[in-house]
């Protein structure tokens, strides 16, 4: 059985370094000494250096929630992939649905980051030594299956220019937008993820060759919780999870890790 990946995306939480430390310590205490899964915590960037010093016994990896595509320069407010690497991050979430379609826009949608911008970030992150966690997902599922073309376009454009030897380092996180957030239409089921996972692997194989993508991990990121974890592991055959809200609850996140370990 392959090693599972469990990513906790804290988003813009918690409010203070002390709260971040307490949450981080609670998660570390819950992780078994001989951990089989790869647990990655992605806090706000301002906490990365601080939490690195608290990561006793290096039980988890740290990741960032975004990275800019230039190394340095006159880019007010941006943080480069190199800076993130130096401060302790080894992974980075790119193309998350909340950045592709900003929540501040009307009805939770709008023009955010394009595939072109995300592509620049993917290549910059790889160059800096970070492992990109590339998020893809459709807003709705139509009867004519046009959503498959939408996902294919996301993958092809976001990975344009990436060399074959690097594609196995990239983690693909499938997050169906219609199944997450306050505007969720319904919950996704494991069968839907399995079908999409197979499709994503085919798109990657057509682009890079089957051998180049053998080790590429595809994980699920649509409202993950302890109740659906086992089903997505067994029926959906996922390589892991991108956990949002429940990564801020040590008890629930611990339960997700426990299920993956079992």
Distance separating alpha carbons of residues 229 and 227, to the nearest angstrom:
6
- Report whether 40 contacts 63 (CB < 8 A): yes
Judged by average pLDDT, the poorest of 108-112, 133-137, 218-222, 231-235 is 108-112
pLDDT of residue 13: 97
Answer yes or no: is pLDDT of 69 > 70: yes
Domain span at residue 161 reads 5-261
Rounded CA separation 59/90 (Å): 14
The phi and psi torsions of 41 (rounded to 5 degrees) equal -105, 125
Confidence of residue 110 (pLDDT cuts 50, 70, 90): low
Q: Tell me what percent of the residues of the chain surpass a pLDDT of 90.
A: 79
Residue 222: per-residue pLDDT: 85
pLDDT at position 106 is: 43
Tell me how many degrees the CA angle 113-117-123 measures, rounded to the nearest 5: 135
Give yes or no for residue 102 having a pLDDT over 80.
no
Q: How confident is the model at residue 104 (pLDDT cuts 50, 70, 90)?
A: low
Say whether pLDDT at 34 is over 80. Answer: no
Which residues are catalytic, by number?
A: 96, 175
Helix/strand/coil for 152: helix
Instruction: Assess whether pLDDT exceeds 60 at residue 105.
Output: no
CATH code: domain of residue 247: 3.20.20.70
pTM of the shown model: 0.94
- Based on the structure, what is the number of domains in the chain? 1
Is the model more confident about 33 or about 137?
137
Q: What is the pLDDT of residues 186-215, one digit of tens each?
A: 889 999 999 999 999 999 999 999 999 999
**Above 60 in pLDDT, residue 246?**
yes
| Range list of β-strands (E), the chain | 5-9, 38-42, 61-64, 91-94, 131-136, 171-174, 217-220, 240-243
**pLDDT interval class at 108 (50, 70, 90):** low
Give the range among 68-72, 137-141, 162-166 with minimum mean pLDDT.
137-141
Q: List, for residues 145-187, the tens digit of each pLDDT value.
A: 899 999 999 999 999 999 999 999 999 999 999 998 777 788 8
């Amino acid at each position: 059985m392959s090693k599972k990946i469990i990513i906790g995306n804290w988003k813009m939480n918690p409010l203070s370094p002390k709260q971040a430390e307490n949450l981080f310590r609670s998660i570390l205490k819950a992780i078994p000494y001989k951990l089989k899964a790869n647990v990655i915590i992605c806090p706000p960037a301002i906490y990365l250096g601080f939490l690195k010093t608290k990561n006793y016994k290096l039980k988890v990896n740290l990741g960032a929630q975004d990275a800019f595509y230039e190394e340095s320069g006159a880019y007010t407010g941006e943080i480069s992939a190199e800076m993130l690497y130096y401060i302790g991050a080894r992974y980075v979430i790119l193309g998350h649905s909340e950045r592709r379609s900003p929540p501040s826009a009307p009805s939770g949608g709008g023009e955010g980051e394009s595939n072109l911008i995300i592509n620049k970030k993917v290549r910059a992150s790889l160059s800096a030594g970070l492992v990109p966690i590339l998020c893809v997902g459709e807003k709705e599922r139509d009867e004519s299956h046009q959503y498959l073309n939408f996902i294919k376009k996301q993958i092809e454009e976001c990975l344009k220019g990436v060399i074959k030897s690097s594609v196995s380092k990239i983690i693909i996180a499938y997050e169906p937008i219609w199944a997450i957030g306050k505007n969720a239409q319904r919950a996704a089921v494991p069968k839907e993820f399995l079908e999409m996972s197979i499709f994503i692997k085919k798109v990657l194989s057509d682009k890079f060759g089957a051998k180049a993508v053998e080790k590429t991990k595809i994980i699920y990121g649509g409202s993950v919780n302890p109740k659906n974890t086992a089903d997505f592991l067994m029926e959906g055959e996922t390589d892991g999870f991108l956990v949002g809200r429940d990564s801020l609850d040590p008890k629930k996140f611990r339960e997700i890790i426990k299920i993956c370990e079992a």
